[in-house]
Every structure is written in structure tokens, then in C-alpha cells.
Amino acid sequence: MKTLKIAIQKSGRLNEKSVELLKNCGLNFENYKSSLISPVSNFPLEILFLRDDDIPEYVQDGIADLGIVGENVIQETEVEVSYLQKLGFGKCSLKIAVPNNNSIEDLSQLNGRSIATTYPVILDKFLKQQNITADIRTISGSVEISPGLGLADAICDLVSTGGTLKSNGLKPFADVMSSEAVLIGRKGSEDDDLIKELIQRVQSVLRAKETKYVVLNVERKNLEAILALLPGVKSPSVVPLAEGDWVAVHTVIPERDFWSRISQLKQAGAQGIVVMPIEKIIL
Ligand code: ATP
Ligand code: MG
């Protein structure tokens, strides 16, 4: 039987979440920091631990069948791969930022200025789309200190909370792209049965993450009002309780409107609300 290979980041911002996702997919493997490759004991899969910059090319060239990497890295390396699934972690934006005391107000004022970045390909495309001619200074790291050193007028760098910009006296000025971690595969890999199986496992884990399992008790007279608050759910289970007039409602609620929904349910007479995480949702 053939063995698939999936490339994930060896260490850095995406490593922990990538490992966690694969483990939640029921894959058993050792996560030794020292090894480059780790076999999965219960699925025909090997995990390759790499620098994130190398992952798109490894997948394009078929050295790995799958990879987990930020969209920003894929766009920068301009490879031909299939996007199989967005993964909901590693969220960030590539932004142009300028020093706080700078009076630049619109994009056209970047004409003739210099911008330091580790993302020259993406930045070049963006500037061309905006009809701006600027001097792109490609550097390999610590981009945020370059305006202070007089190396560039602006920077183009990844931002998540904005803390690094702030502490370097910079303010975000324009959004170039937003990014998150994605599962990629070799072109055409989505037709492979083993890969389909893995994608389904990943999707069932992601779906479960977005929802909570909720059990609550309610008096029959309030049941209708409670069910009206659960529109997204096809048919919650309603189970009679030993105490005649009471029932238990079992349902799932999307994580995103969880708190507002819970307080509405309480107001409508729900009691003893128990909220549980869901491990997987298989459709
Ligand atoms: P490697 O050693 O693997 O080359 P790296 O230093 O290039 O790692 P990390 O800093 O670990 O990369 O970031 C990996 C990815 O995490 C980025 O490419 C991006 O998609 C995502 N990310 C999320 N938030 C941020 C952030 N605030 N800054 C940088 N990257 C972020
Ligand atoms: Mg890197």
C-alpha cells in the first residue's frame, strides 16, 4: 500500500496547531523535535517537518503529497498547488505600515518611496495593481526596524495583533492580503481516495470546533420558546424527565453566537444548562 507524506512546519507559529489538528484527526505519531520525518502508526502517512518556506515547493514537486502552510507563503512562492481546506488558525494580514509621525494618507503617496519587506512578490503584484511605483527593498527578517534605521520609508509585513508595529513606532496603513493556514495538495491530489479520507477527517474536526453540544432542562410550557431560539438546528432531541412537566433538550449551537444564545435561552426558562465540546461531527 502506498504511503502519503504531509509536510508541516518544524517549529514556529504553525507547528503546534498543525500537530494538534493531525492528532485530532486520530493520527498517532511521535512529535520528536529532532526528527525530520515521523511515521503515523495507524494510517499510511508520514509527517515531514520542514521550514515553512519550503513546503509549497515540496508539494508542487510531489516530494510531499500534502502540506500545511500559510497562504502568504504559497502566494509568495507562486507555486501551482491545490487549496484543499482553510484551517482557521495562523490568521494574520500582510500590511503596509508607516512611521507614526508620517503624514502619508493615501496609497498614491507611496510613489517613489522605499518599502522593506520579506514578501517582494506579493508586494510587487499589489503595487502594480494599484499603479504605484515604489522601491521594494527585500530583506530577510526584522523588517519592522528598517524605517527607524533609515533603510526604508515604509514596511510591508505580517501583522496579527499589531503589537510589534506599535512597539516600533509604526502604524498600519494599507491591507495587502489576509492569510490563514491552509491544507494544500499536489494538483489533482483531491481525487486520491486516501487524501479524500484525510480531508474528511480534517473537516469533521473543524466542524466540531465550530460548535458546542448543549443540554438544558425546561418546563414543557416554555419548550416552544426555547425551540424558537434554536433555528439553526434541524431537530433538537427532546427527552421527557422523571419530573412530569420538565423535558431535557439536546442540541448543538455554533460557537460564534454561543454567549448571546445562552443568555436568551436562560431568559426563556432554560435551566441546568450543560455545554460540552464536540470531538468530531461526521456528516
Ligand atoms: P520557518 O522557520 O518555518 O521558516 P518563519 O519564521 O518563516 O518559520 P513563523 O514566524 O513561524 O515563520 O510564521 C509562520 C506563519 O504563521 C506565517 O507564514 C504566517 O502565515 C503565520 N502568522 C500568523 N500570525 C503571524 C504574525 N503575527 N507574524 C508572522 N506570521 C504570522
Ligand atoms: Mg519561513
Residue 222 lies in a domain: yes
> Same domain for 202 and 215?
no
For the chain, which residues score pLDDT lower than 50? none
What are the residues facing 66 on neighbouring strands?
6, 185
Residue 283 lies in a domain: no
Provide the pLDDT for residue 197. 96
Quick check: helix, strand or coil at residue 210? coil
Provide the pLDDT for residue 236. 87
> Same domain for 73 and 141?
no
Please name the residues in contact with 175: beta carbons below 8 A apart, sequence gap of 6 or more.
93, 94, 95
Torsion of CA 123, 129, 130, 131, to 10 degrees: 100
* Nearest ligand 1 atom, CA 160: 27
> Same domain for 124 and 252?
no
CB 73 within 8 A of CB 79: no
> Same domain for 24 and 103?
no
Provide the pLDDT for residue 235. 76
Distance 74 CA to ligand 1 centre (A): 12
Quick check: helix, strand or coil at residue 184? strand
> Same domain for 105 and 217?
no
Residue 282 lies in a domain: no
> Same domain for 198 and 66?
yes
* Nearest ligand 1 atom, CA 159: 27
Ligand 1, atom 12: closest residue by C-alpha: 12
Strands (DSSP E) contained in 123-245 are 135-138, 154-159, 170-179, 181-185, 211-219, 237-240
Ligand 1: residue of 158, 179, 182 to mutate (most ligand atoms within 8 A of CB) is: 158
Provide the pLDDT for residue 231. 65
CB 281 within 8 A of CB 204: yes
* Nearest ligand 1 atom, CA 72: 20
pLDDT tens digits, one per residue of 42-91? 999 999 999 999 999 999 999 999 999 999 999 999 999 999 999 999 99
Q: What is the CATH number of the domain that holds 110?
A: 3.40.190.10
Ligand 1, atom 11: closest residue by C-alpha: 12
Which helix (H) or strand (E) segment holds residue 99: the answer is strand 92-99
Provide the pLDDT for residue 104. 84
Provide the pLDDT for residue 176. 98
Q: Rounded distance, CA 248 to CA 216, Å?
A: 6
Neighbouring C-beta atoms of residue 218, cutoff 10 Å: 25
Residue 15 belongs to domain spanning: 4-89+181-208
- Rounded to a whole number of angstroms, the distance between the first and last alpha carbons of the chain is 27
CB 19 within 8 A of CB 13: no
Distance 140 CA to ligand 1 centre (A): 13
Q: Rounded distance, CA 40 to CA 36, Å?
A: 13
Residues for the chain: how many in total? 283
> Same domain for 116 and 137?
yes
Q: For ligand 1, which residues put their CB under 6 angstroms from it?
A: 9, 12-14, 51-53, 70, 72-73, 90, 92, 158, 160, 179
Q: Rounded distance, CA 203 to CA 85, Å?
A: 8
Provide the pLDDT for residue 260. 83
168: left (phi over 0), alpha (psi -120 to 50) or beta: alpha
Ligand 1: residue of 33, 92, 94, 155 to mutate (most ligand atoms within 8 A of CB) is: 92
Estimate to the nearest angstrom the gap between the alpha carbon of 241 and the chain centroid: 41
> Same domain for 224 and 175?
no
Q: Rounded distance, CA 113 to CA 54, Å?
A: 31
Distance 190 CA to ligand 2 centre (A): 26
Provide the pLDDT for residue 233. 58
Distance 118 CA to ligand 2 centre (A): 10
Provide the pLDDT for residue 261. 85
> Same domain for 81 and 15?
yes
Q: Which bound ligand lies closest to the C-alpha atom of 162?
A: 1
> Same domain for 34 and 83?
yes
Q: Which bound ligand lies closest to the C-alpha atom of 69?
A: 1
Find the radius of gyration of the CA atoms of the chain.
24
pTM score of the predicted model:
0.90
> Same domain for 85 and 220?
no
Distance 1 CA to ligand 1 centre (A): 35
> Same domain for 109 and 235?
no
Q: What is the CATH number of the domain that holds 243?
A: 3.30.70.120
For the record, the C-alpha cell of 122 comes out as 506579493
Residue 268 vs residues 27, 216, 217, 271: alpha-carbon distances, Å: 42, 12, 11, 9
* Nearest ligand 1 atom, CA 180: 20
For the record, the C-alpha cell of 82 comes out as 491545490
Distance 130 CA to ligand 1 centre (A): 26
Provide the pLDDT for residue 283. 83
Provide the pLDDT for residue 178. 98
Residue 195 vs residues 2, 4, 114, 176, 189: alpha-carbon distances, Å: 12, 8, 44, 32, 7
